[in-house]
Structure 1
Amino acid sequence: MTDAHNPKMDAHPAGNTEKDPSDWVSGDDAMTGAQASYLKTLSEEMDAPDAFEEGLTKAEASRRIDELKGRQKSNA
Protein backbone atom coordinates (compact mmCIF):
# COMPACT_ATOMS: atom_id res chain seq x y z
CA MET A 1 0.00 0.00 0.00
CA THR A 2 1.32 3.47 -0.85
CA ASP A 3 1.43 6.50 1.40
CA ALA A 4 -0.52 8.64 -1.08
CA HIS A 5 -2.10 11.82 0.22
CA ASN A 6 -5.81 11.44 0.97
CA PRO A 7 -7.63 14.81 0.72
CA LYS A 8 -10.56 13.38 2.70
CA MET A 9 -8.28 13.31 5.73
CA ASP A 10 -7.36 17.03 5.57
CA ALA A 11 -8.49 19.03 8.56
CA HIS A 12 -9.20 22.01 6.28
CA PRO A 13 -9.86 20.77 2.75
CA ALA A 14 -9.61 23.11 -0.19
CA GLY A 15 -12.86 24.98 -0.67
CA ASN A 16 -14.04 24.39 -4.18
CA THR A 17 -17.61 23.58 -3.14
CA GLU A 18 -18.47 27.23 -2.53
CA LYS A 19 -18.32 29.31 -5.68
CA ASP A 20 -19.78 32.71 -6.34
CA PRO A 21 -22.84 32.23 -8.57
CA SER A 22 -21.51 34.83 -11.00
CA ASP A 23 -18.54 32.51 -11.61
CA TRP A 24 -20.69 29.48 -12.47
CA VAL A 25 -20.29 28.20 -16.01
CA SER A 26 -24.02 27.41 -16.07
CA GLY A 27 -25.06 30.50 -14.08
CA ASP A 28 -26.91 31.99 -17.05
CA ASP A 29 -29.01 28.83 -17.54
CA ALA A 30 -32.60 28.87 -16.33
CA MET A 31 -33.03 28.07 -12.64
CA THR A 32 -33.64 24.42 -11.91
CA GLY A 33 -36.97 23.05 -10.76
CA ALA A 34 -35.50 22.44 -7.32
CA GLN A 35 -34.33 26.06 -7.09
CA ALA A 36 -37.74 27.34 -8.20
CA SER A 37 -39.54 25.21 -5.64
CA TYR A 38 -37.20 26.15 -2.79
CA LEU A 39 -37.22 29.85 -3.68
CA LYS A 40 -41.02 29.85 -3.87
CA THR A 41 -41.26 28.18 -0.45
CA LEU A 42 -38.75 30.56 1.14
CA SER A 43 -40.40 33.62 -0.39
CA GLU A 44 -43.76 32.53 1.08
CA GLU A 45 -42.27 31.72 4.48
CA MET A 46 -40.46 35.05 4.66
CA ASP A 47 -43.46 37.04 3.35
CA ALA A 48 -41.35 38.24 0.44
CA PRO A 49 -43.40 37.38 -2.67
CA ASP A 50 -41.24 39.62 -4.87
CA ALA A 51 -38.23 37.36 -4.24
CA PHE A 52 -39.76 34.69 -6.49
CA GLU A 53 -39.89 35.43 -10.18
CA GLU A 54 -40.35 33.16 -13.17
CA GLY A 55 -37.47 33.22 -15.62
CA LEU A 56 -34.58 33.69 -13.17
CA THR A 57 -31.18 32.27 -14.00
CA LYS A 58 -29.49 29.70 -11.78
CA ALA A 59 -27.16 32.38 -10.44
CA GLU A 60 -29.98 34.84 -9.70
CA ALA A 61 -32.05 32.17 -7.96
CA SER A 62 -29.06 31.10 -5.88
CA ARG A 63 -28.39 34.65 -4.72
CA ARG A 64 -32.04 35.17 -3.78
CA ILE A 65 -32.14 31.86 -1.91
CA ASP A 66 -29.00 32.84 0.01
CA GLU A 67 -30.49 36.23 0.85
CA LEU A 68 -33.73 34.71 2.14
CA LYS A 69 -31.87 32.09 4.14
CA GLY A 70 -29.83 34.90 5.69
CA ARG A 71 -33.02 36.71 6.68
CA GLN A 72 -34.40 33.47 8.08
CA LYS A 73 -31.37 33.05 10.35
CA SER A 74 -31.52 36.65 11.58
CA ASN A 75 -35.22 36.24 12.41
CA ALA A 76 -34.64 33.04 14.36
Structure 2
Amino acid sequence: MTNRTEDPGHNEQASNLEKDPSDWATGDERMTGAQASYLRTLCEEAGVEFDDSLNKADASRMIDELQHKTGRGEDH
Protein backbone atom coordinates (compact mmCIF):
# COMPACT_ATOMS: atom_id res chain seq x y z
CA MET A 1 0.00 0.00 0.00
CA THR A 2 1.29 3.45 -0.84
CA ASN A 3 1.09 6.38 1.54
CA ARG A 4 -0.20 9.44 -0.25
CA THR A 5 0.25 12.94 1.04
CA GLU A 6 -2.52 15.32 0.39
CA ASP A 7 -1.77 18.22 -1.95
CA PRO A 8 -2.31 21.38 0.12
CA GLY A 9 -3.15 23.35 -3.03
CA HIS A 10 -6.01 20.95 -3.75
CA ASN A 11 -7.98 22.07 -0.69
CA GLU A 12 -7.44 25.71 -1.59
CA GLN A 13 -8.69 25.10 -5.14
CA ALA A 14 -11.72 23.21 -3.86
CA SER A 15 -12.55 25.97 -1.39
CA ASN A 16 -12.35 28.56 -4.18
CA LEU A 17 -14.93 26.57 -6.11
CA GLU A 18 -17.23 26.80 -3.08
CA LYS A 19 -16.68 30.53 -2.46
CA ASP A 20 -19.83 32.60 -2.10
CA PRO A 21 -20.36 34.78 -5.19
CA SER A 22 -20.61 37.88 -3.01
CA ASP A 23 -16.97 37.25 -1.99
CA TRP A 24 -15.68 37.08 -5.57
CA ALA A 25 -13.15 39.77 -6.46
CA THR A 26 -14.75 40.08 -9.92
CA GLY A 27 -18.35 39.53 -8.82
CA ASP A 28 -19.38 43.05 -9.77
CA GLU A 29 -18.20 42.65 -13.36
CA ARG A 30 -20.68 41.95 -16.14
CA MET A 31 -21.60 38.26 -16.40
CA THR A 32 -19.55 36.18 -18.79
CA GLY A 33 -20.80 35.04 -22.17
CA ALA A 34 -20.98 31.47 -20.90
CA GLN A 35 -23.06 32.53 -17.90
CA ALA A 36 -25.40 34.54 -20.12
CA SER A 37 -25.88 31.67 -22.55
CA TYR A 38 -26.59 29.08 -19.85
CA LEU A 39 -28.75 31.47 -17.85
CA ARG A 40 -30.81 32.29 -20.94
CA THR A 41 -31.44 28.56 -21.45
CA LEU A 42 -32.40 28.06 -17.80
CA CYS A 43 -34.71 31.08 -17.88
CA GLU A 44 -36.51 29.70 -20.94
CA GLU A 45 -36.95 26.31 -19.28
CA ALA A 46 -38.16 27.85 -16.02
CA GLY A 47 -40.43 30.42 -17.68
CA VAL A 48 -38.49 33.29 -16.12
CA GLU A 49 -37.50 36.52 -17.84
CA PHE A 50 -33.79 36.71 -18.73
CA ASP A 51 -32.00 39.79 -17.35
CA ASP A 52 -28.91 40.57 -19.42
CA SER A 53 -27.75 43.26 -17.00
CA LEU A 54 -26.75 40.88 -14.17
CA ASN A 55 -23.21 40.89 -12.85
CA LYS A 56 -21.17 37.70 -12.41
CA ALA A 57 -22.17 37.15 -8.78
CA ASP A 58 -25.90 37.70 -9.35
CA ALA A 59 -25.84 35.54 -12.49
CA SER A 60 -24.19 32.74 -10.54
CA ARG A 61 -26.81 32.92 -7.79
CA MET A 62 -29.62 32.93 -10.34
CA ILE A 63 -28.07 29.96 -12.17
CA ASP A 64 -27.97 28.02 -8.90
CA GLU A 65 -31.59 28.93 -8.16
CA LEU A 66 -32.82 28.00 -11.63
CA GLN A 67 -30.82 24.78 -11.73
CA HIS A 68 -32.64 23.75 -8.58
CA LYS A 69 -35.99 24.84 -10.02
CA THR A 70 -35.50 23.04 -13.34
CA GLY A 71 -33.73 19.98 -11.91
CA ARG A 72 -30.63 20.59 -14.04
CA GLY A 73 -28.38 20.91 -11.01
CA GLU A 74 -29.44 17.61 -9.52
CA ASP A 75 -26.98 14.72 -9.41
CA HIS A 76 -28.56 11.60 -10.83
TM-score for the superposition, normalised by structure 1:
0.74
Q: In the alignment, which residue of structure 2 is the partner of 1:18?
A: 18
Consecutive unaligned residues of structure 1, counting only runs of 5 or more, are: none
Give CA deviations for 1:6-26 in whole Å, capped at 9, x if unaligned.
Answer: 329xxxx73412110000000
The equivalent of 1:33 in structure 2 is 33
Q: Sequence identity of aligned pairs in percent?
A: 50
Partners in 2 of 1:55 and 1:62 — Cα distance? 13
TM-score by length of 2: 0.74
Post-superposition Cα deviations, 1:20-55, rounded to whole Å, max 9, x if no partner, equal: 000000000000000000000000011112xx2122
Q: How many residues align?
A: 67
Kindly report the root-mean-square deviation, in angstroms, between the aligned alpha carbons of the 2 structures: 2.6
1:69 to 36, 50, 67: 67
Cα deviation, residue 4, structure 1 = 7.6
1:56 counterpart = 2:49: no
Which structure has the greater CA radius of gyration? 1
Equivalent residue letter for 1:56: L
- Stretches (4+) displaced over 2 A: 3-8
